[in-house]
Structure 1
Amino acid sequence: MPNDGTLRVTPQPVRRQVEERLREAIVNGRFAPGEHLSDRMLCDLFGVSRSVIREAVRLMEAEGLVEVVPNRGPFVSYLSPADAMQVYEVRGVLEALAGQGFAERASDAEMAELRAVFEEIAASRAGADRVGLLGLKRRFYDVLLRGCRNAYVARMLDQLLNRNTQLRATTLADPDRLPHTIEEIRRIVEAIERRDGEGAWEACREHVRQAARVALRILNQQAREKAEAGRAQAAE
């Protein structure tokens, strides 16, 4: 606070930047599910005041990315297998609508842009930088949502993808997943290039079904390990 007693007002662009950076850190796995997000740590990381951090945390809580525990503070939300299944069920329908809409309404330039992003994904190899891969997938969906010409689908799927990126990072932990992901997205792109709305719909649904299968297998294994660790700790 300045010496003249007036309140220092943080410009809105700074608040938005912190919100975007915090969201990105969560969805890209910089902060893991269950990790404590202390005010001091976030203030030091982003170089802003506690009030700005708390505003950003409140927004992340509203988006479902953060859970505030009474008397303990904010933690990165943990997605249970049941939560993940619900996310994938909704994502499957929304993504199919986006793929169908893109096939039927996107411009030739947008199709070329989608193909170019896919080729970057296809050039990725097992062991590639996870953050880089997540960024490419995010670019793919940015083009898909813009070209589907359905503002409601784009808005709902965009918000859901923030939640789903945590799951996407989970599936990338499976070393065998990337080649399958590439082939699934290839089928989406090829159906779109044929202007085959029905084919794009089904290719999108299949991609989400396969991603759900891998993520749920990993999450169920993690849940079992967590339960076993809890039982072992209680027995000590």
Structure 2
Amino acid sequence: MPNDGSLRITPRPVRRQVEDRLREAIVSGRFMPGDHLSDRMLCDLFGVSRSVIREAVRLLEAEGLVDVVPNRGPFVSFLSPAEATQIYEVRAVLEALAGRGFAERASDAEISELRGVFEELAAAGPAADRVALLGLKRRFYEVLLRGCRNAYVARMLDQVLNRNSQLRATTLSDPERLPHTIAEMRRIVEAIERRDHEGTWEACRDHVMQAARVALRILNQQAREQAEASRARASAAE
């Protein structure tokens, strides 16, 4: 019987667990852009030491999910319209690659699983909780990335989707967006069910570009409002 330790089960480090749970809290919209991630609050939330929290925050800062402001601490990152444009450009290509790979290589069971998640999302409707909607979209992409059978595309798109999470929350804040999202995702699923590789590519790319159009309109409006508020504060201080 080999005794090299290769089959031994080892628990994940606490820091890794905190990192994963904090990332999920940001991606799911529990923590929104601009929220202050104070050491005390995170220590109480996760029940760990300040050193563990700071290491997890440092790693999420490297991913762009957190900004650490000198003398103020860490905050959930905001995305500027320029940054959002770049993210959507990259996401459009990666998502189209993942969709085409899924149409080519996914099993029939995975296609049925994708259809099932989509039907849950379609049935949720605009009255559904935003966090629940984001969770359903997350599950949709988990199936898509697993079934595309391209580990590099899956890894890169997963990272982009993490960075893109607050943008998905932004687009869902538009009450008119959800029906269009469902129609666009239906087109993706139906192209996959036909094993239409190029049709899936186009449907995935179009879905991302439509989401980008809505998100950038909202972000540009927010940027204008923030600029006006800054000018008003500066005038009041004079």
How do 1:1-236 residues align onto structure 2 when only pairs under 5 Å count? 12-236=12-236
Deviation at 1:68, TM superposition (A): 1.4
**Structure 2 SS opposite 1:67:** strand
Task: Give runs of ≥4 in structure 1 deviating > 3 Å.
Answer: none
- Normalization by structure 2: what TM-score? 0.92
Q: Contact 2:99 / 2:200 at 8 angstroms: preserved in 1?
A: yes
- Normalization by structure 1: what TM-score? 0.93
Q: String of CA shifts for 1:166-209, please: whole Å, max 9, x gaps.
A: 10000000001111000000000000010000000000000001
Deviation at 1:75, TM superposition (A): 1.4
Counterpart Cα distance in 1 of 2:41 and 2:72: 15
Q: Contact 1:99 / 1:201 at 8 angstroms: preserved in 2?
A: yes
Deviation at 1:13, TM superposition (A): 4.0
Deviation at 1:74, TM superposition (A): 1.3
Q: Which runs of 5+ in 2 are unaligned?
A: 1-10
Deviation at 1:28, TM superposition (A): 2.1
**How large is the Cα RMSD of the aligned pairs?**
1.1
Deviation at 1:217, TM superposition (A): 0.6
Amino acid of the residue matched to residue 156 of structure 1? Answer: M
Q: Contact 2:30 / 2:131 at 8 angstroms: preserved in 1?
A: no
Q: String of CA shifts for 1:82-107, please: whole Å, max 9, x gaps.
A: 00000000000000000000001111
Deviation at 1:16, TM superposition (A): 2.4
100-109 vs 34-43, which deviates more?
A: 34-43
* Identity over aligned pairs, percent: 83
Structure-2 residue corresponding to 1:8: none
Counterpart Cα distance in 2 of 1:215 and 1:172: 9
Q: String of CA shifts for 1:100-132, please: whole Å, max 9, x gaps.
A: 000011111111111111110110111211111
Deviation at 1:19, TM superposition (A): 1.2
Deviation at 1:69, TM superposition (A): 2.0
47-56 vs 167-176, which deviates more?
A: 47-56
Deviation at 1:46, TM superposition (A): 1.4
Q: Contact 2:114 / 2:143 at 8 angstroms: preserved in 1?
A: yes
**Structure 2 SS opposite 1:123:** helix
Deviation at 1:35, TM superposition (A): 2.1
Counterpart Cα distance in 1 of 2:21 and 2:218: 27
